[in-house]
Amino acid sequence: MSSIFKPHITRMSAYAPPLEGRNPQQFTLLDFNERTIPVSEPIKQALVDFIRGDRLQMYPSYGDITERLADYCGVDAGQVMITNGSDQGIDLIVRAAAAAGDHAIIPGPSFAMYTQCAAVENLRVSEPGYTRSGGFPTAAVLASITEATRLIVIANPNNPSGTLVAREDILAVAAAAPQAAVLVDECYFEYTQATVADQLAAHENLVITRTFSKTWGLPSVRFGYVLSAADNIRALLNVRGPYDVNQLAIVAAQAALDNPAYTREYVREVMEQAKPLLEQYLDTAGIDYWPSGANYLWLFPQDVTVLSERLKEAGILVRPKADADGRPGLRVTIGTLDQTRQLVEVMKSTG
Ligand SMILES: Cc1ncc(COP(=O)(O)O)c(C=O)c1O
């Protein structure tokens, strides 16, 4: 029987991350680039208070969250739109920018959501490759731009490679394709402090996605936001539903913004202590890895299967990710100093 749905949709496969068995009481979760320790008490308390306040029967209302985010990002409130995680921001931008048959440039390998959304819209996708030594393929991206290009994705930093993209390269791409939405994914912004949020007026085709899922430690409540020129935000609001962001997400994000120190302290420990420790071990052990600007490293040990099994036995989950040539690797989230010491110990004993 033929499907009631569009043929290209039925031919796709689902984006299905390996979520099963991820029990934080049983494992140290270094497999999803999450914050590896819980959020601070005031955030939990705000959620409990909200539930006890008997407002769950009401539709969400968003108060001043957009203004607070604008303040945090140094932009105008009209340049901000809240979303159900940055995944929703990515989906809305792709849907609003491009129609079936349009051309998109999505350098790879990268976060699966971009190509997933592009496939849903039936876009023609060019995928220039990141390289370990060359980083973001700026020249290939610029060379791929045509009049039919409606979307260009720049993950800064890229996932799984951790590659940082130079600011001047992002702006050169934006200038070279004024007809295209240039989606700059700043999901890991708090780790990198790298942003083009100050360029929204100069480059009106820049559309930035950000999230509370990483350093803020709130992927479970699904809260993200988009930054772009006010006209773009107005257009995107025509596509987003009025209640797509749930009220618990707003309560948690408000409490998080009231208590930013827990995030700053975590970022400091991960980036200034834990990450150098892991890098130092990898350098000493001669294990190849990509230079990363974020809280994860993409490494290529001799036997990926043996190492991931040994880590799992020791209570540590990591994520297998092969490179573009099919070479097996592991994407390892960096957690606290203690967690990283344990990781290194298991790696040392595996040899
Ligand atoms: C580059 C990148 N963008 C977006 C996301 C999704 O974030 P969110 O939880 O806000 O949807 C991830 C999650 O891993 C990611 O790595």
Q: Assess whether 78 and 181 both reside in one domain.
A: yes
Do 129 and 270 sit in the same domain of this protein? no
Give the C-alpha separation, 22 to 309, whole Å. Answer: 15
pLDDT at residue 351 tops 80: no
Residue 212 Cα to ligand 1 middle (Å): 9
Does some domain include residue 171? Answer: yes
Residues 99 and 230 in one domain: yes
Q: Sorting pLDDT into bands at 50, 70 and 90, what band is 77?
A: very high
Nearest alpha carbon, ligand 1 atom 12: 187
My answer on whether 143 and 158 are in the same domain is yes
Report the percentage of the chain scoring pLDDT > 70: 99
On whether both 193 and 306 belong to a single domain, the answer is no
Most ligand 1 atoms within 8 A of CB, residue of 93, 117, 159 to mutate: 159
**Measuring CA to CA, which residue among 236, 216, 214, 239 is closest to residue 226?**
236
Asked if 179 and 244 sit in the same domain, the reply is: yes
Least Cα distance to 179 among 140, 147, 144, 141 occurs for 147
Look at residue 20 in the predicted model and tell me its pLDDT. Answer: 83
106-136 confidence digits (pLDDT tens): 999 999 999 999 999 999 999 999 999 999 9
Say if residue 46's pLDDT is above 90. yes
Give the pocket of ligand 1 (CB within 6 Å): 33, 85-87, 111, 155, 159, 185, 187, 211, 213, 219, 224
Q: Do residues 182 and 325 both lie within one domain?
A: no
Number of domains in the chain: 2
Range of the domain at 181: 41-258
pLDDT at 337: 98
Does residue 1 lie in a domain region? no
pLDDT tens for each residue of 293-339: 999 999 999 999 999 999 999 999 999 999 999 999 999 999 999 99
At which of 258, 277, 304 does a domain end?
258
pLDDT at 19 over 90: no
| Run of H or E residues at 140 | helix 138-144
| CATH code assigned at 17 | 3.90.1150.10
Of 220, 239, 258, the position where a domain reaches its end is 258
State whether 162 and 32 are in the same domain: no
CATH code, domain carrying 84 = 3.40.640.10
Atom of ligand 1 nearest to the CA of 212: 10
- Expressed in angstroms and rounded, the spacing between residue 81 Cα and the centre of ligand 1 is 17
Is there a single domain that holds both residue 51 and residue 164? yes
Residue 16 has pLDDT above 90, yes or no: no
- Per-residue DSSP letters for 297-332? EEEE-S-HHHHHHHHHHTTEE-EE---TT----EEE
Tell me if 292 is assigned to some domain: yes
pLDDT reported for residue 29: 96
Residue 2 lies in a domain: no
Per-residue pLDDT of 230-275, as tens digits, reads 999 999 999 999 999 999 999 999 999 999 999 999 999 999 999 9
Dist CA 271 CA 273 (whole Å): 6
Same domain flag for 189 and 142: yes
Q: Which of 143, 144, 100, 147 is nearest to 124 (CA)?
A: 100
Q: Does one domain contain both 17 and 56?
A: no
Does residue 159 lie in a domain region? yes
pLDDT in tens, 138-161: 999 999 999 999 999 999 999 999
